[in-house]
Amino acid sequence: MRAEALPVRRVRDGVITADLGLVGEGLEPYAPVTVEVRDGVVRRVEEGRERGGRSYDALLPAPFNAHVHAADWAFRHAGLGRPLERVVAPPDGLKHRLLREVDKGELEGAIAGFLAASLRFGCPGVADFREGGPEGVRLGLRAAGRVGFPEYVPMGRPGSWEPERLEGELRRLRAVTEFVGVPDVHLPGEALEAVRDSGLRVFVHVNESWRSVRECVREHGVTELERAVELLEPDGVVHCVVLTGRDEELLRELDPLVVLCPRSNEYFELGVPEVERLRGLRLALGTDNGMCVEPDVWEEARYAWLRLGMRPVDALRAATVTPARFFGLPVLEEGERLRAVGLKGVPALDRVAGEGLNRVVAHLLQVVKLARVEVLLGEGG
């Protein structure tokens, strides 16, 4: 796989035009739109079309896939028809047994393949839960380098949770990443507190099923989300398929990034999150397990609209500007480094132009798979 074969264009200077642009955090529609780039930074965004430069049908903020397990791409559909716990639960779930058996070169190649597929879908950024301690993070970074993946955020996992080794493991993780990805809150309390106090930003799986929540209540007297807030104070929580009233209150008090992965949840027959209970929170989307779901964040947004009941514009925002802001990435607006996606060959775009933002976004989410996609990233400065 060669980086130049992937649909990424680095832009230092020039003019980009499109029949439709969705601009800024509000995804304000400009039809048509002209974007002037100087030294990799968006210097001007105006409604109207200028001659020259690169032209697209639609210009959108680039997506960011806020939760993936890229290495699982090595084991496509190995868990088909099996309960989630038997597939992913550490240390002896199916994927963990497979991870121990595969050699490092094959694993690196699988992650590289996953990231290349992400770029082909038009997504230049992922947050990847990476098993295997600091070396697992380095393996992911090498894979990202192989395909020139622009925005790879590894969320490392300690190689050991044993109390006498954990502090050292966390210290070594801090040398290679800002983030730690906690598999669940069924770990000993002192281990979770050590993670909280490590200086790493914490993401954690919580409340993916009633079974795991009830198990946590039996073992610890609280739900998984309650235990996470009490012992981890996480920056991000992943899944939240099931929630109690107290869970909902705690989410609003803590205000973490809430990452929803509805296609993966349904693949494992867990149901889907109740979006009505999450309104007003910072929502992002992730494609989750590379074993079972392709890294197509546009399809995740379409699914969130059609299956979860999110408004199309809210689903697109959860796939683009909300995670971009959380991870310190630019959005498509003046004064920020260019980070966008250009679409060519969008069918029937003129049929929805001027018909309201939700209608326009719904159309784009339905037909983006038919378009040619190009990731546009500012270069220079």
Over residues 153-199, the pLDDT tens digits come to 999 999 999 999 999 999 999 999 999 999 999 999 999 999 999 99
Instruction: Give the closest residue to 360 by CA, choosing from 78, 91, 21, 41.
Output: 21
Q: Computed from CA positions of residues 258, 287, 377, 148, in that sequence, does the dihedral angle turn out positive or negative?
A: positive
Burial class (CB in 10 A: 0-12, 13-18, 19+), 91: exposed
pLDDT band at 354; cut points 50, 70, 90: confident
Whether residue 82 is predicted with pLDDT greater than 90 in this model: the reply is no
- CA 375, CA 59: separation in Å to the nearest integer? 10
Whether residue 152 is predicted with pLDDT greater than 80 in this model: the reply is yes
Domains of the chain: 3-62+332-378 (2.30.40.10), 65-326 (3.20.20.140)
Instruction: Give the closest residue to 284 by CA, choosing from 226, 324, 311, 227.
Output: 324
pLDDT tens digits, 364-381: 999 999 999 999 999 986
Can you give the pLDDT at residue 208?
96
First to last CA, the chain: 28
| Percent of residues in the chain assigned helix, strand, coil, to nearest 5 | 40, 25, 35
Q: Model-level pTM?
A: 0.95
Q: Which residues of 124-144 are buried (b: 16+ CB within 10 A; e: fewer)?
A: bbbbbbbbbbbebbbbbbebb
Residue with the bigger pLDDT between 187 and 83: it is 187
Is-contact 35 95, C-beta < 8 A? no
DSSP characters over 333-365:
STTSB-EEEEEE--TTGGGTTTS-HHHHHHHHH
- CA 49, CA 291: separation in Å to the nearest integer? 43
The DSSP 8-state label assigned to residue 92 in this structure reads T
Inter-helix orientation angle 189-196/163-174, to 10°: 20
- CA 185, CA 183: separation in Å to the nearest integer? 7
Lowest mean pLDDT among 16-30, 89-103, 122-136, 220-234: 89-103
Burial class (CB in 10 A: 0-12, 13-18, 19+), 164: exposed
Whether residue 86 is predicted with pLDDT greater than 80 in this model: the reply is no
- CA 362, CA 25: separation in Å to the nearest integer? 18
Q: H or E stretch including 101?
A: helix 94-101
Region 212-237: mean pLDDT is 97
Instruction: Give the closest residue to 139 by CA, choosing from 170, 114, 111.
Output: 111
Instruction: Give the closest residue to 295 by CA, choosing from 313, 311, 319, 317.
Output: 319
Region 228-234: mean pLDDT is 98
- CA 200, CA 232: separation in Å to the nearest integer? 11
Instruction: Give the closest residue to 179 by CA, choosing from 162, 197, 203.
Output: 203
Whether residue 1 is predicted with pLDDT greater than 50 in this model: the reply is no
Record the tokens describing residue 4, joined without a space. 């130049």
- CA 238, CA 343: separation in Å to the nearest integer? 30
pLDDT band at 344; cut points 50, 70, 90: very high
Amino acid at residue number 311: R
- How high does pLDDT run on average in the chain? 94
pLDDT band at 60; cut points 50, 70, 90: very high
pLDDT tens digits, 278-329: 999 999 999 999 888 999 999 999 999 999 999 999 999 999 999 999 999 9
